[in-house]
């Protein structure tokens, strides 16, 4: 089968790999119909996540058709078209029973913090992902969710990560009616978080980024204010100034490990890898939220330490919440929002390319070429 293969930092290609096989009675094999390149994939692509191994296939955002099931699979059948959450979750452990599918205690033998994730580094379990024609899906009685007959596949694939992560960013923020919400990062997740902030009662939503084309997109898609931090002397002072010097009620970090804007953070976090990525956006979030405010983190950082102003967290009385989105828990509500027209996930898609052009897709997204917001890839077998 055709699949993306990682060959080292900034080097990916489309190659022929062996077909996946059923390894456990609860496995399923999915023929991929849509798959995406995620901003989190760029952390792998750029070499910023430990234990990303040559030969890996990325891709944690995909939908497809079940073509084979293990002996113990009862919740889906061959021929079903399914949303595959990016979390790999057993459904039975202490954390899964609480709905914390992103923190499954059984699926990832490589770490004790995060559960397993499709197509990520071996710190997330080492499972091959969905940027391929076919993918093995463990715990097929838990994760795969049947796509409603009336749902566009482009909407469906955006429910595997982007929409639930943006929604959970707003949910974790504990937004109260009338709150001012600031989102750092106008990538797909940040744009969706800004859109979802209105659903929780925000009175004002502001997004901060450095790319004008992304800011323009955010204004139109998320109905928010949008500002370029390169035009500010200090983003923290700017936010305080436009909030009567109080700070925002809620700040969402949707950037994570590759944040720009601070030379020291860039050198130590992105160049020398002395910390788990550049924590610039997290610094800005902590320092620009009001006393007693909430910082919600969905931007991805690595599993090592970061240099953050923890004293400011204490002295300002902040609440900090962060997690990988528990997609399975959120899917029923998000499917309803899509069907009712409350959310338009496929509206984030700007580019559609064949899987054969995966190297060009990564280069375009990484370099922010052609006003790229979100890329969907179609494997050769997607239309069979």
Q: What pLDDT does residue 279 have?
A: 74
The whole-number pLDDT of residue 236 equals: 96
Tell me whether residue 183 is in a domain. yes
Q: 121 and 12, same structural domain?
A: yes
Q: What is the pLDDT of residue 133?
A: 98
10 Å Cβ neighbour count for 15?
A: 15
CA distance 67 to 63: 13
Domain coverage including residue 193: 165-322
Q: How confident is the model at residue 197 (pLDDT cuts 50, 70, 90)?
A: very high
Average pLDDT over residues 242-248: 96
Based on the structure, what is the number of domains in the chain?
2
> Are 108 and 178 part of one and the same domain?
no
Q: What angle do CA 100, 105, 107 make, to 5 degrees?
A: 105
Does residue 70 form part of some domain?
yes
| Same-domain pairing of 210 and 306 | yes
Question: Looking at the structure, do residues 182 and 317 belong to the same domain, yes or no?
Answer: yes
Q: Is residue 44 part of a domain?
A: yes
What does the pLDDT look like over 148-165, one tens digit per residue? 999 999 999 999 999 999
With respect to residue 269, please indicate whether it lies within any of the assigned structural domains: yes
CATH number of domain containing 188: 3.40.50.720
Residues 192 and 81 in one domain: no
Does 144 lie in the same domain as 221? no
Label residue 111 by pLDDT band (50, 70, 90).
Answer: confident
pLDDT of residue 206: 98
Split at pLDDT 50, 70, 90, the class of 281 is: confident
With cut-offs at 50, 70 and 90, classify the pLDDT of residue 384. Answer: low
Statement to judge: residues 133 and 199 lie in one domain: no
Of 291, 322, 353, which residue constitutes the final position of a domain? 322
User: What CATH number is attached to the domain comprising 340?
Assistant: 3.90.180.10
239 and 138 in one domain? no
| Domain assignment of residue 383, yes or no | no
Tell me if 84 sits within 8 A of 160, measured CB to CB: yes
Place of tokens 């699949």: 3
- Ranking 34-43, 86-95, 294-303, 329-338 by mean pLDDT, the lowest is 294-303
Radius of gyration of the chain (CA): 20
Same domain for 192 and 207?
yes
Lowest mean pLDDT among 179-183, 313-317, 335-339, 351-355: 313-317
Q: How many C-beta atoms surround the C-beta of residue 89 within 10 A?
A: 29
Q: Are 154 and 337 in contact (CB under 8 A)?
A: no
Of the two residues 96 and 280, the one the predictor is more confident about is 96
Q: Is 7 helix (H, G, I), strand (E, B) or coil?
A: strand
Residue 384 lies in a domain: no
pLDDT at 47: 84
**Domain end call among 322, 341, 359:** 322
Same domain, 370 and 230: no
Residue 314 dihedral angles phi and psi, to the nearest 5°: -65, -50
- Please tell me whether residues 358 and 276 are part of one structural domain: no
Look at residue 45 and tell me if it is in a domain.
Answer: yes
Q: What is the pLDDT of residues 213-236, one digit of tens each?
A: 999 999 999 999 999 999 999 999
């Amino acid at each position: 089968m055709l699949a993306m293969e990682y060959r080292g930092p900034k080097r990916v290609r489309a190659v022929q790999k062996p077909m996946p096989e059923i390894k456990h009675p609860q496995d399923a094999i999915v023929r991929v119909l849509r798959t995406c390149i995620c901003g989190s994939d760029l952390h792998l692509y750029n070499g910023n996540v430990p234990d990303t191994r040559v030969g890996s296939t990325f891709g944690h955002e995909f939908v497809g058709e079940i073509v084979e099931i293990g002996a113990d699979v009862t919740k889906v059948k061959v021929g079903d078209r399914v949303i595959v959450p990016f979390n790999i979750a057993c459904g039975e452990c202490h954390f899964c029973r609480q709905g914390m599918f992103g923190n499954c205690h059984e699926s990832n033998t490589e770490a004790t913090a995060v559960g397993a994730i499709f197509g990520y580094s071996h710190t997330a379990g080492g499972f091959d992902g969905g940027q391929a024609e076919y993918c093995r899906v463990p715990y097929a009685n838990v994760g795969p969710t049947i796509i409603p007959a009336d749902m566009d596949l482009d909407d469906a694939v955006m429910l595997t990560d982007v929409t639930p992560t943006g929604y959970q960013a707003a949910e974790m923020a504990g937004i109260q009616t009338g709150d001012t919400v600031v989102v750092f990062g106008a990538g797909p997740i940040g744009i969706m978080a800004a859109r979802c902030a209105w659903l929780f009662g925000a009175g004002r939503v502001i997004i901060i980024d450095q790319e004008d084309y992304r800011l323009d997109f955010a204004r139109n898609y998320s109905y928010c204010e949008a500002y370029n931090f390169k035009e500010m002397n200090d983003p923290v002072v700017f936010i305080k100034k436009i909030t009567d010097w109080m700070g925002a009620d809620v700040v969402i970090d949707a950037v994570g490990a590759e944040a720009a804007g601070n030379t020291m953070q860039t050198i130590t976090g992105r160049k020398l890898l002395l910390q788990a990525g550049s924590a610039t956006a997290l610094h800005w979030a902590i320092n620009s939220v009001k006393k007693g405010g909430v910082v919600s983190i969905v931007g991805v950082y690595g599993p090592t330490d970061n240099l953050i102003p923890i004293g400011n967290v204490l002295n300002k009385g902040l609440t900090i919440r962060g997690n990988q989105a528990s997609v399975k828990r959120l899917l029923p509500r998000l499917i309803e929002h899509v069907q009712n027209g409350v959310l338009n996930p496929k509206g984030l898609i700007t580019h559609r390319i064949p899987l054969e052009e995966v190297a060009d897709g990564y280069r375009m997204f990484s370099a922010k070429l052609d006003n790229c917001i979100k890329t969907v890839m179609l494997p050769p077998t997607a239309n069979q």
